[in-house]
Structure 1
Amino acid sequence: MRRALPALLGAAVVALAAVHVQPVQAVPKATHTTHAVTAKTDASVVQVGDVIRYSLVLHTRGALVVDATSPGKLDDFELLGTSSMPGESITIHNGVVEQSNTFTVTYRLRAKKPGKFQLGPGHFVVPGKTLPTPAVKVEVIPAGAAPKVHDPLADLLRDFDEPMTEPEPKPPAAPVDPLAQLDSLPTDPSEREFFVRVVPDERRPVVGSQVTLKVFVYARRPPEVMLKRPPVATDFRIVSLGAVDKMWHPIDIGGHAWSYAALEAFAAFPLRTGKLPIGPSVVGAGFSDMFGKPVERDFDSLSTEVESVEPPVEGRPPGYVLGDVVSNLQLTATVAPRTVDDGHALVTLQVSGAGRVDTLRPALPTPPGVTWTTTNDETHAQYVALAVKGTRKLQIDARFDRPGDVDLGEAVLHVWDPSKKEYATARAALGTVIVRKGAENPSAAGASSAVPLPAPRGRIGRVGEGRTIADRAWTWGLVAGAPLAVVLAQAGAALLRRRRAKESERAVDPGEQARVALAEARRGADPIAACVRALDRAVEATTSVRPRGVTRSELAAALSATQLDRALCDDLVRAFEALDGARFAGGAPPSVDAIERLVERVLSSSEGRREPRRREEGAS
């Protein structure tokens, strides 16, 4: 069986790869699109039997539309499989976003005989043209003449032993990504075959530093998956880093064999200090029912949080701005011209580093008679190995009021460097500028061109003569009516805004959301989770306390600090504990009727407190 299976697998892979056509449409088609192509292999010298990766890369500035690809000539190599992956980078120039795209097609090849060979040239087919790729030279040496390169098929075939032989025990599979490791499986019945996790790589980041969020999916039998909604993080600046690998890897969870995949990664930059929640991500998974019919389900990840902190106060330089966090900071400056004849010079500052550079603002000196005005701001971001790196170009006009030699001093920028765990200061000398003539004063130029006053009148005229607009009766009606119309318009707009605010308040009222969740529980759509949401929204509507935001051990104390009576607080704590036990330990959940009665008790206590307040507002 070991000898026959590789041939069958190889034939199947070759048959699939031979009809490989990959249509991709990543962004809307732009008016002007430029293309560039490259080709490469992961090794230039291999031995017979080794597996190499031959990649064709298409770079575009503008729309990415690929109709088909071809590897070209692959003589004396066995084609094992094909994969493709798009990528993108974003450039911001004076507020205008430009998108650059890449599309990579990788062919896995096995060398069959020694010699010097040429792979390709291949080509990409895009609308209106065919783009050839360069050929790549590969040398194949006899087997055993070099260290063995790992064969991807070996992992697939290692479990097919000879008949009647006892397989040796295998150690638990360690995850390729340490962030994917789990000690135990979820106890929720809906997560027995598939579940989703959002894992941050840092739990206590410095405000402004990058936190990499990875969306992991776990399955007993890997299905087709698709990210439908990224993690909800309102207190972060979120940037998508694209797909990580989307390959399923084995993992041991509590002694059970599972598979996991890193679906996508995001760079999250905390915008403030404190405990910052990260809401659930939604992943769609395709399964087959008992009759083979495809069924798609959506899975939510559990919410998590990180605690953002300030960098240490000790050693903090004067002028540091909280949130300025960049590694490997570089700052350069140029000034042109050095001899000024019209009172103006252009200062160009270049800032680069790993992190968010779009928020950095170098501090400029304030020499007398010099005025700074920013005229251009360009930011370019790149995503390299799940890290955000950027460059920023600032162009500033220096206006000189008086002639002479002016020492501009130096530009200074202070940041926190997370890679070194210390503050970093970058300085760029601006040097001296020779000003031969200062800039003209706009107010003086305007005063010289003033229109002269007319000659004084010799005749005053009679009162009520009616020859001017001020003597007309309708003039004063317009004068008085215009402010009145403005007041009426503002009053009408205020009433309209108040009405819309009330409608919006009713639309997002937590009490209404609690009743909607109860209706979902009665329909049988995940009743335990729906009951938890109903209680959560009812308590929030009454007390402004979010039970999901506190632990169960803290819930009793949080409810006791509210206006709810003690018996109702105890009933709420018991209900949440029973629902958690049903969800995570498989216990019997409370009935939907019991939860509905408890929700109505909570909401009725809220209405009792709101009615006197409404009467007070009406009296005022």
Structure 2
Amino acid sequence: MRKLVFLFVLFATFGVVVRAADVTFKASAPEAVVMGETFRLSYTVNAEGKDLRVPEIPDFDVLIGPSTSTSMSTQIVNGKMTTETSLTFTYILQPKKEGTFNIAPATIKVKGANYTSNALAIKVLPPDKADEAAKEGSTGTGISKDDAFLTIDVSKRNVYEQEGILVTFKLYVRKDIAGIDQPKFPEFEGFLAQEVELPQNKQLVMENYKGKNYGTAVIRQTVLYPQRSGKIIIPSGKLDLVLRVPGPPKQRSSVFDDFFGGSSSYIDVKKELTTPSVTIDVKPLPSGKPASFSGAVGNFTMTSSINSNNVKTNEAVTVKVKISGNGNIKLVKNPEVVFPNDFEVYDPKVDVDIKTTAAGSSGTKTIEYMAIPRYAGDFEIPAIAFSYFDTKTNSYKTITSEPYKLHVEQGAGGGTSPVISNFSNKESVKYLGKDIRYLKVNDIHFVPNNELFFGSFMYYMCYLIPAILFIVFFFIYRKQVKENSNLALVRTKKANKMATRRLKNAGKLLKENKKEEFYDEVLRALWGYLSDKLSIPQASLTKDNVEAELTKYGVDEPLIHEFMDILNTCEFARYAPAQASDAMDKLYEQTVDAIGKMENTIKK
């Protein structure tokens, strides 16, 4: 009685809050069981429930049940006590036959309201077949090669370049596991690897394999996208297990040893499990690629939108393109959006949301293109085209948006003064003056003839030198204006400068040992340099047309191969396991050297 009074005072002091929030009613049972063995079927509700109604279970014998157990947990947070009650009803079942059987939902009443549990599907496996060679290949500790092994399963072994395949490493074991070491998986060279997130607490699931029942668990699942054609080998993986097996019987020291199991002993045995290597035959993509194809492989959709069709000068125009689907979406290049010549175009903003499952990598890539019109008038943004290779039909498909009509009105502060734009720096805009100021002349002042500056040598030189300088600067200015009007030439001249700036950023990331950011920055520097140098938009750049264009400019084949090797190394290294710092240093030096050689080769 005193304890009850104490608890009542304690609850009143702290303020008891009984969790009467959402009521959950859940059914649980093993996913697979073996014919002839028993298992538990449990129904759990997080409140005081009554009147449990379980559906008929004709495919199983109910040996025991329902047995009821109650648990309570209490937490005190900020002076408030929270109590949660859990009520569990347990049945012991035994299957009547093999197959997969469904158990319908059960119902229970909580405070006058009915709640329904989830349904269950249980697979009943056949018992182990008698194996006359069960001991064949076993060690002295009684472990055979069939007691534990690791498999590698590849969804497809004959694929196209950039087509995703699922690789699964699965453990099969018939003994108790005492310990497991960190698995050693292959590095997947030649692939872009996307890991499938698996549950943290893996539970062994029963599965019948070649007539025997095993506890199984998926150790790793990875979606691979081959980056080149040809035969690519996936090396073997390795896993070290510690299995617990019965040891030699102990010497009896008491008559109670048999009763308490003291006469038996167990020993731990280490076993190394390996998988065979697998060869993937990668076919190159078929010919007939559309002009807007940039390497997307899978199944995709594209939508586009514009923020407004009526704007004023110096107001931003934003075109948003959204690409969704399943495939190598992380490698999909931005579609090209062509703005009118009088628009100042900025680098697009890209947002990627990708999730990788056993079905592949799926998600959305959103690209926002921004430009600013400087003149009033009516303009048109041409239709946006996006092409991809459909792995279901093995054909190329092109999605095209509608063109956008744009009306630009003169904004505040506008005028008719000409505008000089520095296309290498979009933020620098200068307006020329509108008039020439009048030069006022003072009253005439006479001086003696011998003191006159007029007619002297210095007098004529003061006219001649400015005239010569004026002519020289006039021609230089005309040449600069002509070159600045040629956007392609401006970009070509600025190519090395922009690449050097990005490589400086890559050098900082290298010192900070930020691997993925380092390789991304080197890739941006290379693709940006090639785009500026060859006067080709980045969205239209591919490895094939880069090689062709560099050959046209007379670049040596070894230098072309050096550029291609750097691009491939960066693409592989971003998703491969951590690289050594000396490899990153070597790649950085190789990139700087390659751009220097290219500058000496292509001179404009």
TM-score above 0.5: no
TM range (shorter): 0.3 to 0.5
Q: Which one has a bigger Cα radius of gyration?
A: 2
Query: TM-score scaled to structure 2, two decimals?
Result: 0.45
How high is the TM-score relative to the length of structure 1? Answer: 0.44
